Structure 1
Amino acid sequence: MSKNEPNPTTVDAAKRFASQKETAFGVESLLPHLEGAPPSNTAPPKYQNTEIIRTGIDSLYLSFHGSARLNLLSRLQELKEIAKSTRCRDERTPPALHLAGIKFIVKPKGQSIYPFVLFNNHFVIRVASEASSNAPPVYMQISSELLTMHGYDAALEMSRRIAGQIVADCNQGTISRVDLCCDFTTELDWLSVDPIAWVCRSNKRSEYREANELTGYVFGKSGDVLARLYDKTREIEVSEKSFFKEIWKLRGWDEEQTVWRLEYQIRQAFLKDTASTNPDTFIDKMNSAWNYLTSNWLSLRLISLNDGNSSRWPLHPDWKVLCDARFNHVGVDDIRRARFEVLPSDYSIFTGALGYLTSFMVKHEHQTMTQALAAFYDAAEEHFKIDDKRHETFAHYVQTKLAEKRIKFVKLKQIGELE
């Protein structure tokens, strides 16, 4: 995630959807010109107890660059001031701003580094001021309803038209975050799953329950990837996203079974390493990204007591169905992450080393750096001989750490030479 990307705030679902119902926005006025089928699903794979209903993109966050339109910024400032005064007097809804034929309301407050926030029931748009040099001029969140009901291509085209009216010479947009999801039914009892059967690249895990019923898991926290597995049927009772039920019924849902959702929230850093931040080419990488995430980032495994490496355990058959989910008819490529650690700076190396060395000088009453350096090696060797927690020699420890760091801090130049 870029350090300049704002952290989306969580809004109480009841309040959010109440505000949407109170105001009629004309987003649909543009849709007839952009109507397109949502990303297609292949025939749903089925195991004994698990069946995929649909796959799709739940949320899409785009950054746009261009030159600020000063007249629009002035208008946004006016509407922001009106919104402040309207809120204080508790009067009617503030006047709307129309962009690409769509009506938006300007909020009385900005968010994070963005002074202007525009919204309707399909978009939340943050707009930077002319003086903001560290942030994309336009940061746009597209709703799951628009993406689900009208498709990725139509939503992308609409977002570009809107962004083009906010900034001049607007680019085609960059993906800052995208949420891939798969809705499915299963007879698998999640409570019966042994916790060690979950194999995840993150150690962070949260479990959610209502009374004695498990409602979901969250894997990961504040990283490039976050996974959610939850009871979507229960969730839409709160979020009021009833349109999902109509989609599910068209895909064969019997209106009785619980629908679960597996969802991966993917940020820009992951996309740069594995897929693409270009919204036009990402569509061709979705299947590959999903396959990697369900096979390598988070997976449910059959525990094998004879193998201490859980990543080699076979996939649970029901989880294998989810791995095989597809978002379109594009093939699957191997997209193992190419992550390379950056060598620490000289500043951090010397500052850290001198911090420990001066502590050694005080503890052992050495007066000069030369004296301390001469004594350090012998003291370290002796420590490894007498410390009960150590099970190796000083020399072996040094060689082990050296080998680890040669791998961790591999240089890109070295990679190129090996090829």
Structure 2
Amino acid sequence: MSQKSKVSNQSAEPPRDATRESAAAWRDGEVEQDLTDALNQSDSSSQGTPPSNTVPYNCNGEYFKLLRFGVDSLYLSYQGELFPEVKERLAKLKQLAQHPEADQQAQAQYAIAGHILEVKDKGSSIFPYVMEDGAFRISLSRTSKKTPMAYVKVSSRYLCSIKPAEAEKHLRDILKELGTLDSSAHVSRIDLCADFVSPENMESWGRDAWITRGKKIDAHAVNEKFTGWSIGLGGKISCRLYNKLIEIHSSGRTDLVPLWRETGWQENEPVWRVEFQLMRDVLAEHGLISLDTVLANLNGLWSYASTEWLRLTLPNPDDQTPSRWPVHPLWGYISSIDWETDFNTLSRSFKPERLPEDKRILTLGISSMACFMAKHGITDFDEGLDRYLLALHQHLYVSGEFIGLSAEDYLLEKVRLRGKEYNTILNINEADQERLEVEKAAKNYRKASEGE
């Protein structure tokens, strides 16, 4: 049976709206009983979870339709030591990234395990070397027992296409090519998110409805349009409830759209995301340090964040004790997501390149051509295109001649720079490539001789 059919055939029947009637029903326990009954009727995929506090993941109805949930971002650290030859190479690549000549900057790349990582021109005092593509941002330190060898951000886009444990396995294979690892992956930060559809008016409650241990509660709007809430930003735990559709228009996260469609999203439905950011301090307080232990306790972390650290309530003006206020119907569904279910469809279109949309690139080209035609009073398309291309070639010729390059080489220099930025073109020259192959063979021989 397909994932979509499982959702439709086993969905619970949630409240149909967010009126006072549904709120009262929640207070009287009727909604809670509906959720418990739905759980008891679900198949073996939800067995083993406490019926009193866990809603089946497929609770998709008119009031609350869950589209997907998962790890949004993951920050990992590794103890170890860089190989001397890797450290030397990174230092040279960083110098290339800082070089005033574009052809030298374009060679600041590190090709490894199917990735063409851009080497950044800047790092930090702790992590001087930084490499990045669409899957990983890898910060590497010099030798120090107190400082991790590597601090890595695993991207949200990558985590939509692969499970966190598998992503970490691939990352570990990369890091083993760079140095000796002394420990398993430690989690410095993890972001957990859930995308859903609901007719609930997210602006209908005030700040007093949020019962939280966080210090800050803020409402947000863009061009007078309400976009969401943020709670506890800057603390060791924080939460955001925001309109994801508005956010992806600026971020370009179009990879999420087909994943939503597979779980029943319709084009006219607003998509909201609730997202908890948990820092290392709070994970350590719960005895969770390694990635394995964190991933094994996602249900507990979500429950702690959404029931103990933060709750959305229905304020009761007749009761001066907020801790007794009933949970808002929406929050009842959100806090009850079962992280042990295998609900999400993974993206099949991920590539580690950081690519802008063609639409954006072409829009810039149209704007440039329109400016040129308007400046010269041209309204005929064919004439405008011919004259624009001629002027562009002349500009390339003059610009290249100024620095001793042909028009073609001048343009290719720009292409290589963009290829480095987008992780699409490996610009390293053949001599350097041969030298790197020799170094890699020597390192593999050394590891084999040492019995690794």
Return the offset for 1:46: 4.2
Of 119, 126, 130, the match for 1:106: 119
* CA deviation vs aligned residue, 1:247-282 (integer Å, no higher than 9, x gap): 101111112211110000100111112262211122
User: Which residue among 209, 216, 220 is the counterpart of 2:221?
Assistant: 209
* Runs (5+) with no aligned partner, structure 1: 1-40, 331-419
8 Å contact kept, 1:42–1:327:
no
- Judge conservation of contact 1:60–1:143 (CA < 8 Å) in 2: yes
TM-score by length of 2: 0.61
Give CA-to-partner distance per residue, 1:140-174, whole Å, 9 cap, x none: 00001111112212211111112222221442210
Q: Is the 8 A contact 1:44 1:325 kept in 2?
A: no
1:52 and 2:66 aligned: yes
Answer yes or no: is the 8 Å Cα contact 1:68–1:137 preserved in 2. Answer: yes
Out of 203, 206, 209, the position equivalent to 1:197 is 209
Quick one: which of 55, 63, 69 aligns to 2:83?
69
**Does 1:320 find its partner at 2:332?**
yes
Distance 1:252 1:275, change over 3 A: farther
Q: CA deviation at 1:95?
A: 4.1
Q: Which runs of 5+ in 2 are unaligned?
A: 1-54, 343-452
Question: Which is worse superposed, 257-266 or 273-282?
Answer: 273-282
The CA RMSD over aligned residues, in Å, is 1.9
Deviation by residue 1:41-89 (Cα, 9 ceiling, x = unmatched): 964224652221111000000000112311110000010011111xx22
Distance 1:191 1:287 in 2: 28
Q: Residue by residue, what CA displacement relative to the aligned partner does 1:310-351 show, whole Å, maximum 9, x if unpaired?
A: 122111011101011122249xxxxxxxxxxxxxxxxxxxxx
Q: 1:78 aligns with which of 75, 86, 92?
A: 92
Residue pair 1:80, 1:106 contacting (<8 A) in 2 also: yes
Contact 1:47-1:321 within 8 A present in 2 as well: no
Q: In the superposition, relative to structure 1, how do residues 317 and 46 fare at CA in structure 2: closer, same or farther (>3 Å)?
A: farther
Aligned length: 287
Equivalent of residue 119 in structure 1, options 132, 141, 145? 132
Distance 1:317 1:199, change over 3 A: same
In structure 1, the partner of 2:184 is 172
* 1:271 paired residue number: 283
In 1, the alpha carbon distance for the partners of 2:233 and 2:181 equals 36
Shift >3 Å, 4+ stretches: none
Asked whether the equivalents of residues 180 and 264 of structure 1 are also in contact (C-alpha less than 8 Å), the reply is yes
Q: Distance in 2 between matches of 1:211 and 1:169?
A: 49
2:136 and 2:153 in contact (8 A); partners too: yes
Residues 116, 95 of structure 1: CA spacing in aligned structure 2 closer, same or farther, 3 A cutoff?
Answer: closer
Question: What is the alpha-carbon distance in structure 2 between the residues aligned to residue 65 and residue 234 of structure 1?
Answer: 39
Quick one: distance in 2 between partners of 1:52 and 1:104? 35
Q: 1:187 aligns with which of 170, 185, 199?
A: 199
5 Å-filtered alignment, 1:9-408, equals 43-46=57-60, 48-85=62-99, 88-91=100-103, 93-130=106-143, 132-274=144-286, 276-329=288-341
Asked if structure 1 preserves the Cα contact closer than 8 Å seen for 2:195 and 2:273, the reply is yes
8 Å contact 1:45–1:325 — kept in the other structure? Answer: no
Between the two proteins, what is the percent identity of the paired residues?
30
Residue type matched to 2:90 in 1?
L
Q: For 1:110, what is the secondary structure of its paired residue?
A: coil
Shift of 1:283: 1.7
**Match of 2:234, SS?**
coil
Q: Judging changes above 3 Å, is the alpha-carbon distance between structure 1 residues 312 and 274 closer, same or farther for their aligned structure 2 residues?
A: farther
2-side partners of 1:121 and 1:202: how far apart? Answer: 32
TM-score (norm 1): 0.65
